[in-house]
Amino acid sequence: MSLSQTDASSPDALLGEPLQHVTRDGVEYVVLGTAHVSRASVAAVETLVANEGFDAIAVELCHSRAEGMRNPDAFKQMDLFQVIRQGKVGMVAASLVLSSFQQRLAAQYGIQPGAEMKAAMDGAERAGLPLWLIDREVGTTLKRVWRSVGLWSRFGLLGGLIASVFEREQVDEKEIEKLKGGDLLESAFGEFAQSSAPLYDSLIGERDAFMAARLREQALAAPKVRRVLVVIGAGHLKGLCDHLREQREPPAERVAKLAQLPPKASWPKWLALGLALLVFAAIGYAFHRNPALGAQALRNWVLFTGGFAALGALVAGGHPLSIVAAFVAAPIKPFRPGIPAGGISAMAEAWVRRPRVADFETLRDDIGRWTGWWKNRVARTLLNFILVSVGTAIGEYAAGIQIFKSLF
């Protein structure tokens, strides 16, 4: 229910705002649902902090997102070589794409994404109140989302993510405010869940349960806290409050369970290894039948894998050295576990064309345009990694097909 339905003396800024009160284990949680790009949400947070007494303030942020909000220029210190070595290119690219989409909304309405969360953090600091960061780490959520769906759903995810960056249609601010209407949200999420229940659970349902457990965990650690303001996205309002009322297992157990990364599916690795062994067995058989045929098969492997990888680097606008690195690294990938061919090519790109300070400063804006991915050195390095990796995979299958065709 909204505060306007329960308290006629509430400040005007709270009229119609999604607000629920949940009491659990002697603690009252005042849960405010917000839109992440909304002036009204910021005003509602500031009004609650200024006019009501709380013992703590909780926000829908993890430590990484909170640090990024406190220090928005932190990404300028990103070590591209470490990102590549640690296999975090996909995660960084996805985070930047999401950030770019939020920045588009911010530019449209003159308000920073998550401004209501920042208002809550600032309010806690001014009032000297404990700040509880209750959301699951964004990296964990992205990995659980990715591993929760099948191959074709992943293509859909990538397509939707890319489309969100380059969509230029203006979003009506009235539509953003409508996101606070519980019925509209539940309807939208219901359709989403029907199309991909595992995706909905990883992205929304699990986080509702996680944040409810974190609130209980924090309350157990602070027995003097009796009233908490909880600032969350409106899409989590109903789910979090339901979990807060109904959870029975110890909160630490629920938190630990939902913070775990699901194991990677082993079949893609074994499938890739099996195909590589099969191709090399075919090459060996070709040499056994006829040395010239074997040499042709080996040449096909090098040309197809190296050629498609180099093409990926070329399409990414890579430096000649990174194109050569891709061509050399791709054919020997099965014998060189560790950094993939895309990583070697991307590191060569980053070494030859070291990103400038200006590249980091304009990164979020640049990736919102097609040309920006080739213009910005940071974005181009990430693109190089992705396209070379895709090119290598295509080349391996193409080489295998060509080699088997030559034998039979």
C-beta neighbour count of 403 within 10 angstroms = 24
| Tens digit of each residue's pLDDT (9 = 90 or more) over 111-131 | 666 788 999 999 999 999 999
List Cβ neighbours of 79 (8 Å cut-off, separation of 6 or more). none
Label residue 196 left, alpha or beta by phi (over 0 means left) and psi (-120 to 50 means alpha).
Answer: beta
pLDDT for the residue numbered 5: 37
Burial label, 12 (beta-carbon count in 10 A; 0-12, 13-18, 19+): exposed
CA angle 180, 183, 184 (to 5 degrees): 65
Q: pLDDT tens digits for 232-278?
A: 988 889 999 999 999 999 999 999 999 988 777 666 677 777 777 88
Burial class for 181, CB neighbours closer than 10 Å (0-12, 13-18, 19+): middle
Q: Given this model, what pLDDT does residue 242 score?
A: 95
pLDDT of residue 394: 92
Q: List pLDDT tens digits, range 304-327.
A: 999 999 999 999 999 999 999 999
Do 218 and 189 touch, CB atoms closer than 8 A?
A: no
Q: pLDDT, tens digit, for every residue of 178-227?
A: 555 543 334 433 444 456 677 778 778 899 999 999 999 999 999 999 99
- pLDDT at site 100: 63
pLDDT grade, residue 78 (50/70/90)?
Answer: low
E strand or H helix that includes residue 82: helix 80-85
Q: What would the mean pLDDT of 281-302 be, rounded to a whole number? A: 90
Lowest mean pLDDT among 49-58, 185-194, 366-375: 185-194
Where b means 16+ CB within 10 Å and e means fewer, 359-375 reads: bbebbbebbbeeebbbe
Buried b (16+ CB within 10 A) or exposed e, 319-342: beebbbbbbbbbbebbeeeebbbb
| Sign of torsion over alpha carbons 148, 263, 93, 275 | negative
**CA 191, 194, 197: angle at the middle one, nearest 5?**
120
- Whether this model's pTM surpasses 0.75: no
The CA-to-CA distance between both ends of the chain, in Å, stands at 71
52-90 burial code (b ≥16 CB/10 A, e <16): eebbbbbbbbbebbbebbeeeeebeebebeebbeeeebb
- 158 and 83 Cβ atoms separated by less than 8 Å: no
The conformation of residue 2, written as its DSSP 8-state character, comes to: B
Average pLDDT, the chain: 80
Asked if 21 and 52 count as a contact pair (C-beta separation under 8 A), the reply is no
The mean per-residue pLDDT over the stretch 271-295 comes to 85
Distance of alpha carbon 67 from alpha carbon 139, whole angstroms: 14
Q: Which amino acid is at 280?
A: F
pLDDT of residue 192: 43
pLDDT value for 56: 96
